[in-house]
Structure 1
Amino acid sequence: MNFTPRQRSARGSGAELRAEILDATKKLLARSGHVDAVSIRQIAKIVGVTPPSIYRHFADKDQLIESVVAQVFEDLNAEMLAASDPNESPMERLRQQGLAYVRFARQHPEQYRLAMTPGETAGAVDQVLTSSAFAHFAATVTECMNLGVITPGDPVPVVLELWTSAHGIASLLIAKPYLPWGDVEAFTDRVMRSICVGRVVIDNVLGADVSADALAQWAAENRRVS
């Protein structure tokens, strides 16, 4: 593949070059499917600059990749917002937000994997996730608490329960697509509904200390008759 050398940037166009580098990296990562297949030299060739030009904007490949992943995940905020129908109840919106989160992860599998890679400190991706996924879940959980649907208190533990569920579904669907999931959207929906309904039942009917046996007995006594 031939690349046209990039024209020398005019003074003050550093932001434009940075954007070009991020865009080229995003496309290369999506095309290659794995971060190991992406190199600074390749990116420099695509953009039409020398590798040192890239290092003036990013300390190393890891920082560049993190910036690309953070940029991709900025779209998660819009997707979760679009999936939340303001005319629906807060509990229904929690389900919709969980579905949107899993759907987004499946649409960006490599970026999602990188976003969830363990790290010693919080980085750019964590900041984006906190301001999108966490913030949406937290706001809706708080609404549920205000209505008494979920026991009022600190919303963080409930948010982490929801996020853990959504993350688990997304991670398995990405890592093990060959398992017999059936309709993936329907599967995700069943799990998210189970989490939401379980929280309501435990908080409002059976209590936080209910045992699995007591829950099963309650379900048997209240089984819907067709």
Structure 2
Amino acid sequence: MRSIAKHLGVSAMMPYKHFPSKDHILMELRLEAFQRLTTHMRRAQAVAQTPTDALVAVSQAYVEFALKAPNDYRLMFDAWEFENYAQISADFGDSISREADSWHVNLDAVTAFAEAENLAIDCNFAAHWLWSSLHGMVQLHLSRKLAFGMEIQQLEQIFSEKIPTSIRAFSQK
């Protein structure tokens, strides 16, 4: 906290006039990072020409964000002590929904793709598959565990090409 305050040019106690604890400061930073991810994903989705392009663009935006802002990404997804969601909800109210907005962009992209392709799939499942696949790829890279012959850029390129085919494979038809 002292180094943060020093960086901001304020006293070490100043942040506590606005936040009840260090966890509250971290949560606000976490929510702001999620908002930046959401904005990045929405921009990618908005310029896409087709639902297929949007699906791929949203996925690429997710990975791109993580690679450009790894500290934000770690803050967003790594475990931390303030994991009591009842307390988080009580303390942060509706603003906590910012944490889920990027997930909803992902779900919207999958749903629009499935509707355009007339796929009989569980979009929630497909969105979870995509979200967890992207997250796993990024986490392996950030933890330096993606060490068996492929760089994340290679893996992400191939993965992006296969996303539409993979989601089509979930079809019940």
TM range (shorter): 0.7 to 0.9
Which moves more between the two structures, 157-166 or 72-81?
72-81
1:167, CA displacement in angstroms? 0.6
1:178, CA displacement in angstroms? 6.7
Give the counterpart letter for 1:55 in structure 2: Y
Number of matched pairs: 163
1:75, CA displacement in angstroms? 1.6
1:200, CA displacement in angstroms? 0.7
Q: Tell me which protein shows more helix as a share of its residues.
A: 2
The RMSD of aligned alpha carbons is 2.6
| Residues 69-126 of structure 1: per-residue CA shift (max 9 Å, x gap) | 3223322122112222555321231111111101101111122112112334275796
Contact kept, 8 Å, 2:55 with 2:110, in 1: the verdict is yes
What pairs with 1:198-217 in structure 2 (closer than 5 Å)? 198-203=166-171
What is the TM-score when the length of structure 2 is the normalising length? 0.78
1:175 equivalenced with 2:134 (yes/no): no
* Cα pair distance change 1:126/1:164, threshold 3 Å: farther
1:196, CA displacement in angstroms? 2.7
Contact kept, 8 Å, 2:110 with 2:127, in 1: the verdict is yes
Structure of greater Rg: 1
* Cα pair distance change 1:191/1:51, threshold 3 Å: same
What pairs with 1:1-226 in structure 2 (closer than 5 Å)? 40-84=1-45, 86-118=47-79, 119-121=83-85, 123=88, 127-131=97-101, 133-151=102-120, 153=122, 155-176=123-144, 179=147, 180-182=149-151, 184-203=152-171
| Residues 170-218 of structure 1: per-residue CA shift (max 9 Å, x gap) | 1111111772324x334212123334312213416xx6xxxxxxxxxxx
* Cα pair distance change 1:126/1:159, threshold 3 Å: farther
CA distance in 1, matches of 2:6, 2:140: 35
Contact kept, 8 Å, 2:126 with 2:170, in 1: the verdict is no
Give the counterpart letter for 1:201 in structure 2: A
Q: What is the percentage of aligned positions where both structures have the same residue? A: 22
Runs of at least 5 residues in structure 1 that lack an aligned partner in the other structure:
1-39, 208-226
CA distance in 1, matches of 2:15, 2:115: 49
